[in-house]
């Protein structure tokens, strides 16, 4: 099973590229972030014509997340994280695809630091931690995947010293990520590529992609049973080089099939 995440930076403005990449990559499930479209404007028909069912949690202008599944409609289990009912930003959607609980998320950016946006980011992270702990207790296959807006370590930043006071790299945010992973999750890309420089985002500014001045912001956190099934974890870096592309590249993992449930006969 191939699961991908892609911050499209505008699902309608980027629809042609999304369809091109879907056709090329053929993932079984996809989590999209930054739809930048209200529910009514989600391009469900074009995505269905490409062979994908979808559930989505949109919002006018900003944010917005969706889950796509090839040849089926994802079974929606949640929109929004618990813990702050007055939070109206569309940043979490959850669905089951082929027996895997997929929590698709778009963590707040948090800039500028310090300030209310940074505080909101930390609160959102705390809510994610609390909910993630509940998911782990269920002991079912879960992946928490999306744009975390965090570079977890210095290896994940082209020039770490430039980012120390940025909300994406502040020590509080890195600690929050580390604490989350410490619950028992596996960072899929790091698990298979320890010590390797891997980026998933390149700024539009300053020719960042050509200089490979990137950040690793998009992460897959796997529950223990999914971690045991992890086979590949890669970035479709070339997509960032396409014309009119998003500033993020698609990232994907490949899981082996479920272990068979054969039992020994007594």
Partner DNA sequence: ATGACCTCCCGTGGAGGA
Phi and psi angles of residue 198, each rounded to the nearest 5 degrees, phi first? -130, 125
- List residues near DNA by CB under 7 A: 7, 9-10, 12-14, 34, 36-38, 41, 60-62, 108-109, 111-112, 117, 147, 149, 168, 201, 203-206, 215, 217, 244, 247
**Which one of the listed residues 28, 147, 187, 218 is annotated catalytic?**
147
9 is in an annotated binding site: no
What tokens were used for 251? 């990232």
Q: Which is nearer to DNA, 15 or 76 (CB)?
A: 15
Q: Each residue of 203-230: b (16+ CB within 10 Å) or e? A: eeeeebbeeebbbbbbbbbbbeebbebb
Cα(66)–Cα(98) distance, integer angstroms: 17
219 is in an annotated binding site: no
DSSP assigned state of 250: P
The DSSP H or E segment spanning 69 is strand 65-70
179 is in an annotated binding site: no
Residue 16 is a catalytic residue: no
Residue 244 is a catalytic residue: no
Q: Which is nearer to DNA, 14 or 57 (CB)?
A: 14
Sort residue 18 into left (φ over 0), alpha (ψ -120 to 50) or beta: alpha
Least distance from DNA to the Cβ atom of residue 142, Å: 23
Distances in whole angstroms, Cα of residue 132 to Cα of each of 4, 62, 190, 218: 20, 24, 19, 17
Q: Which is nearer to DNA, 124 or 226 (CB)?
A: 124
248 is in an annotated binding site: yes
**Which one of the listed residues 6, 92, 106, 209 is annotated catalytic?**
106
Least distance from DNA to the Cβ atom of residue 178, Å: 19
Q: Which is nearer to DNA, 113 or 252 (CB)?
A: 113
Residue 218 is a catalytic residue: no
Least distance from DNA to the Cβ atom of residue 22, Å: 17
SS3 at position 118: helix
Least distance from DNA to the Cβ atom of residue 135, Å: 24
Q: Which residues are catalytic?
A: 106, 147, 248
């Amino acid at each position: 099973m191939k699961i991908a995440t892609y911050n499209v930076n505008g699902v309608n403005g980027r629809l042609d590229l999304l369809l091109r990449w879907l056709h090329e990559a053929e993932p079984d499930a996809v989590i999209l972030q930054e739809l930048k479209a209200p529910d009514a404007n989600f391009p469900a028909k074009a995505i269905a014509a490409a062979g994908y069912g979808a559930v989505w949690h949109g919002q006018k202008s900003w944010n917005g997340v969706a889950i796509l599944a090839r040849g089926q409609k994802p079974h929606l289990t949640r929109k929004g994280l618990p813990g702050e009912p007055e939070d109206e930003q569309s940043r979490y959607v959850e669905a089951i695809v082929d027996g895997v609980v997929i929590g698709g998320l778009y963590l707040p950016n948090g800039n500028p630091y310090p300030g209310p946006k940074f505080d909101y980011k930390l609160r959102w992270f705390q809510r994610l931690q609390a909910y993630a702990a509940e998911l782990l207790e269920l002991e079912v296959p879960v992946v928490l995947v999306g744009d975390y807006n965090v570079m977890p370590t210095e290896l994940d930043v082209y020039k770490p010293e430039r980012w120390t006071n940025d909300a994406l790299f502040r020590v509080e945010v890195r600690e929050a990520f580390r604490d989350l992973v410490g619950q028992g999750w596996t960072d899929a890309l790091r698990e298979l590529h320890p010590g390797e420089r891997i980026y998933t985002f390149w700024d539009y500014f300053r020719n960042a992609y050509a200089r490979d001045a990137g950040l690793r912001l998009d992460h897959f956190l796997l529950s223990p049973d999914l971690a045991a099934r992890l086979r590949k974890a890669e970035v479709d870096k070339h997509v960032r080089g396409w014309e009119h592309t998003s500033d993020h590249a698609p990232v994907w993992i490949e899981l082996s099939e479920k272990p068979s449930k054969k039992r020994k006969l007594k």
